[in-house]
């Protein structure tokens, strides 16, 4: 099937396929929109079962970055790159040098950074071959570095806004939050939630990651199969996307879904189902914008770390605006957010 006929193709400006036999790099780079500025979005490394899975992921993720950057008020468009490979065994210096060459070949229309499976040290290698990279080590007090803590802090502000809107509470003390995925972003979110007095239920495919949050934050560990159906006030998906569908949504036992995973809804209609069930959904690309805000402030020199932290607090207010609009219009929150985002990037039709 042609990429132009793919169900996730959304008038993307550019889709580039790269195969570098010498380094072993097999990657796809997608630029969704440069209407607001250069397309910014991280690079993900994942052992996709098929090329079609990788294509679907990069198309959906790049569109999400357009929406994310637009809703965050950043002068950037949306793009994404994915590497087909296992980050636990397929990494090499040559591979990330080749990735840097791929990014450089786009002439600045795509800016990369860390995403799932990619570390700061990996981006340092990429930066030896291209200037169009962010998420690099930084001096204390300046913007930059690993975006995961900033993503988590933005989600934390978003959860507080959702709790205020849905439950009428101004704090999280005593509330139960189920966190699915406690890797980089999930770990830092657990830290913020624990410090705010929330009770944690956690699950992850990595047993060491689970044990860490159990030891440090008193979390209750459950299996990955159990986490979605456990009773809690908030479910925070922080693993991979597509987890909310016709099979999993009926099993939910929460009032709020608000987490860091991209593309949490399998389809737009799944957002309608959440609304019908009385579950408040925080659109993922709005609540998880903290990382790209950090990247933008570093790359564009928009301010220091204090400025980034202040910008993250705006995420809660932005979500409240979406929640109120959804209530007044009788629509699901994802449809309201999509309409707002498309308006901002000139694709309202």
Q: What is the pLDDT of residues 241-280, one digit of tens each?
A: 789 999 999 999 999 999 999 899 999 999 999 999 999 9
Predicted pLDDT of residue 1: 64
Percent of all residues in the chain with a pLDDT value above 90, rounded to a whole number: 83
**C-alpha closest to that of 113 among 45, 15, 215:** 45
Rounded CA gap, 92 and 103, in Å?
17
Helices (H), 72-132: 93-104, 120-126
Whether the domain at 3-65+77-126 and the domain at 148-344 fall into the same CATH topology: yes
Q: How confident is the model at residue 8 (pLDDT cuts 50, 70, 90)?
A: confident
Q: Which fold has domain 148-344?
A: Rossmann fold (3.40.50)
What's the rounded mean pLDDT across residues 139-166?
A: 88
Predicted pLDDT of residue 336: 97
Specify the pTM: 0.88
Among this protein's residues, is 80 annotated catalytic? Answer: yes
Residue 140: pLDDT over 70:
no
Rounded CA gap, 102 and 126, in Å?
10
Percent of all residues in the chain with a pLDDT value above 70, rounded to a whole number: 97
Which of these is catalytic: 80, 150, 166, 199?
A: 80
Sorted by where each begins, the domain ranges of the chain are 3-65+77-126, 148-344
**C-alpha closest to that of 73 among 339, 323, 286:** 286
Predicted pLDDT of residue 5: 85
Residue 213, judged by CB atoms within 10 A of its CB (0-12, 13-18, 19+), counts as buried
Rounded CA gap, 112 and 107, in Å?
12
Predicted pLDDT of residue 24: 96
**CATH class belonging to 3-65+77-126:** alpha beta
Predicted pLDDT of residue 83: 98
Rounded CA gap, 163 and 145, in Å?
30
């Amino acid at each position: 099937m042609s990429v132009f006929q793919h169900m996730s193709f959304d008038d993307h400006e550019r889709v580039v396929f790269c195969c570098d036999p010498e380094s072993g790099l097999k990657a796809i780079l997608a630029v969704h929109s440069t209407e607001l500025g250069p397309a910014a979005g991280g690079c993900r490394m994942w052992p996709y079962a098929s090329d079609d899975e990788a294509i679907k992921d990069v198309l959906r993720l790049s569109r999400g970055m357009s929406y994310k950057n637009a809703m965050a008020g950043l002068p950037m468009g949306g793009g994404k790159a994915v590497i087909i490979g296992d980050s636990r065994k397929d990494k090499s210096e040559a591979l990330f040098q080749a990735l840097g060459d791929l990014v450089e070949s786009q002439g600045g229309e795509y800016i990369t950074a860390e995403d799932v499976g990619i570390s700061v040290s990996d981006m340092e290698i990429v930066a030896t071959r291209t200037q169009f990279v962010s998420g690099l080590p930084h001096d204390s007090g300046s913007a930059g570095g690993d975006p995961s803590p900033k993503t988590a802090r933005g989600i934390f502000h978003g959860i507080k806004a959702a709790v205020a809107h849905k439950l009428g509470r101004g704090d999280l003390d005593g509330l139960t939050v189920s966190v699915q995925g406690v890797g980089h972003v999930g770990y830092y979110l657990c830290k913020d939630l624990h410090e705010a007095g929330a009770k944690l239920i956690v699950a992850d495919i990595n047993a060491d990651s689970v044990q860490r949050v159990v030891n440090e934050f008193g979390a209750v560990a459950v299996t990955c199969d159990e986490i979605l159906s456990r009773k809690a006030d908030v479910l925070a998906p922080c693993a991979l996307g597509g987890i909310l569908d016709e099979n999993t949504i009926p099993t939910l036992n929460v009032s709020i879904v608000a987490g860091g995973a991209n593309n949490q809804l399998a389809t737009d209609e799944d957002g309608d189902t959440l609304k019908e069930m009385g579950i408040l959904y925080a659109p993922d690309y709005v609540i998880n914008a903290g990382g790209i805000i950090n990247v933008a402030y570093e790359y564009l020199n928009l301010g220091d770390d204090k400025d980034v932290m202040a910008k993250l607090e705006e995420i809660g207010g932005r979500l409240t605006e979406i929640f109120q609009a959804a209530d007044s219009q009788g629509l699901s929150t994802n449809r309201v957010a999509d309409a707002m985002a498309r308006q901002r990037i000139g694709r309202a039709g």
